[in-house]
Chain A
Amino acid sequence: MLEIKQLVKKYKTGDVALNGVDLKVEKGQVMALIGPSGAGKSTLIRCVNRLETPTSGEIWLNGENIVKLRSGKLRKARRNMGMIFQEYALVERLTVMENVLSGRLGYVGFWRSYLRKFPQADVQAAFRLLEKVGLEKMVNKRADELSGGQRQRVGIARALIQNPDILLVDEPTASLDPKTSRQIMRLITELCEEQQLAAIINIHDVALAQMFAERIVGLREGKIVYDGSPDDLKPDVLTEIYGEEDWTAVRKRKAKISTDSEVDDESVSAEHMAEML
């Protein structure tokens, strides 16, 4: 459904964020994109939505090359991609309902949206989604009155009301506490399953990625260095993704903690790995 071919993104400063990425995501597949800061994770999903313009390469979504699209057609393509952001990116001074309904702006004419007279179907969908994310009582609250977890739920509702084919999720839990992080990840993956949505989820937390994603892709310096199941994410793989030095330091510490366990013996438990990272 989404196919990325030889995607390259060079910034004006000369930094190469993406250096020939090939990636295919099937319908309904939840994929976690992991990698160190600056590996190009954000750039990748921002290129898919064309918030950044790729330097070269192709991005095919539903038989259209996103890279070639301009204004009107690009907006139409964007309607099929729901985005969820690290700092929620809600419009702070708008109500929860307005924020959710802003996901329909690509479908609704200017005056209807200006007068906030959205079609009944959209309003009903918004109520349904808000109930699903547990915010049905917050409809008329302003977004800046909500807690972090609540804001992210609004962000999820805004993305889903677009009725997208794919979710592009950028560090959804980086600003949240561990418990809320899990709840948010669970919500995203459940909703994806329910609606057969594909998702690319950028995430720092390897343990969370393993817990909720069916496929993990590791990015390092703009290149894919791992693509496989969460269970095969062994220490040597993490070394390749995150870099040698850090990983050996952790291995030493681990050797200190439990003397009898061999590093290449078994895959490390998710919890443990999170702690080490």
Chain B
Amino acid sequence: MSQESSTPNSAALPESWSPPPLIKSPLLRWALLLGIVLYLYLSVGSLEINWSRIYAGLDRGAKFVYGFMNPNFAGRWTDISEGMIESLVMTVTSTAIGIAISIPIGFGAASNLAPLPVYLFCRGIIALSRSFQEIIVAILFVAIFGFGPLAGVLTLSFATIGFLSKLLAEDIESIDRSQAEAVKATGAPWWQWINFGIQPQIMPRLIGLSLYRLDINFRESAVVGLVGAGGIGATLNTAFDRYEYDTAAAILILIIGIVMLSEYISGYIRAGVQ
């Protein structure tokens, strides 16, 4: 019975299979591909490349690279260490302030916890913080508070809020509802419900994100220093201005080292808090 029916059946079935294309219409598919290639060709063609300027710059580039081969830590060590310490202080302070502000905003921006007006308000703050790049914010704060690390700390805190609140809110929105519900069902008041039902679920992510942000803030502290907001960036800027590429190299190497170290430590901590 099974043999009889299987022969004509299998003859009617297809012999091969390939996955359906992402874009159904072949015309559209090929037109898009051709369009992309054409666009790339034209945009590369529109770049104006000044070869003589590049040739002149090669010399400076070589000096730069040469400087990197011979980083000079000793020459301006006082400036470097002061800038580095200032950067680290800025990093830790701004991360701590940022986290402290981000947690309530993150809770407010979680649609499964916050009532609509609170949600919209907190999402508004996040959108505001995310829409401005650190440099722009730093320029604004330098204009308001003057040169120095205060402007830098405020810039990085402000940027931390947009980053941390948004990702925290998303983590809260994706919690396991039943765990939180079970705590609510015992008659727990709101704060205890948060403490027992929500917090344990988001804690690993909060710790991981905070450490990650610490990393980012350190790197950004070097960047905002370029516009006068203090930290190692200011020292780096001075070194470039004086064509002291060996000192600049020393600073960059230190930044790379610290970022790698913090990457290693935060990875270790994150693995521990799962």
Binding site for B on A (CB under 8 A): 49, 51, 75-79, 81-83, 85, 87, 89-94, 98, 102-106, 108, 110, 113-114, 155, 158, 162
Known: A75-B187, A75-B188. 9 other contacts (CB 8 A): A78-B185, A78-B186, A91-B183, A91-B196, A92-B176, A93-B203, A105-B196, A110-B189, A110-B195
Contacting A at CB under 8 A, from B179-203, are: 179, 181-189, 191-193, 195-197, 200-201, 203
Quick check: B186 and A85 within 8 Å, CB to CB?
no
Q: How far is the CA of A239 from the CA of B179 in the complex (A)?
A: 36
By a CB distance below 8 angstroms, the chain B residues around A77 are 187
Minimum CB–CB distance for A162 against chain B, Å: 6
User: Which single member of A83, A92, A93 contacts B185 (CB below 8 Å)?
Assistant: A83
State which of B179, B189, B204 has its C-beta within 8 Å of the C-beta of A91. Answer: B179
B-chain residues with CB within 8 Å of residue A113 when the two chains form the complex: 192, 195-196
Cα distance A83–B191 when bound, in Å?
Answer: 20
DSSP majority for the B interface? helix
Task: Report, nearest first, the 9 A-B pairs whose CB atoms are least far apart.
Answer: A106-B187, A105-B188, A78-B187, A89-B182, A79-B187, A93-B200, A89-B178, A83-B185, A75-B187
Contacts of A106 in B (CB 8 A): 186-189
User: Contact flags (1/0) for B113-139 with A, using CB distance below 8 Å?
Assistant: 000000000000000000000000000
A103-B186 CB under 8 A given contacts A85-B178, A113-B192: yes
Chain B, Cβ-Cβ closest to A83: B185
| Cα of A78 to Cα of B178 in the assembled complex, Å | 16
Cα distance A102–B200 when bound, in Å?
A: 13
Contact of B201 among A76, A91, A155 (CB under 8 A): A91
Is A83 touching B182 in the complex (CB atoms < 8 A)?
A: yes
Q: Chain B residues near A75: list those with CB within 8 A.
A: 187-189
Chain B's interface size range is 20 to 34
- Which B4-23 residues have C-beta < 8 A from chain A? none
| Chain A residues with CB below 8 A from B193, complex form | 105
Task: Please give me the residue from chain A that is nearest to B184 by CB atom.
Answer: A51
A200 CB → nearest B CB, Å = 14
Task: List 22 A-B residue pairs with CB atoms under 8 Å apart, sorted by A's residue number.
Answer: A49-B185, A51-B184, A75-B189, A78-B185, A78-B186, A82-B186, A83-B186, A87-B178, A89-B179, A90-B182, A91-B196, A91-B197, A91-B200, A91-B201, A102-B188, A102-B197, A103-B186, A105-B186, A105-B192, A114-B192, A114-B195, A162-B187
Which A residues lie within 8 Å of B204 (CB)?
Answer: 93
Residues of B158-186 contacting chain A, CB below 8 A: 176, 178-179, 181-186
Contacts of A102 in B (CB 8 A): 182-183, 186, 188, 196-197
- Least CB distance, B107 to chain A, in whole angstroms: 16
**Which positions 198-212 of chain B face chain A at CB distance < 8 Å?**
200-201, 203-204
Within 8 Å CB of B201, what residues of A? 91-93
Would B188 and A85 count as touching, CB distance under 8 A? no
- Which residue of B179, B186, B191 has the most chain A CB atoms within 10 A of its CB atom? B186
Chain A residue at smallest Cβ distance from B187: A106
Interchain nearest-CB distance for A125 vs B (Å) = 14
A104 to B192, CA, bound (A): 10
Question: Could you tell me if B182 and A105 are in contact, using CB atoms closer than 8 angstroms?
Answer: no
A93 to B195 CA separation, bound complex (whole angstroms) = 12
Which single residue of chain B is at the shortest CB-CB distance from A168? B185
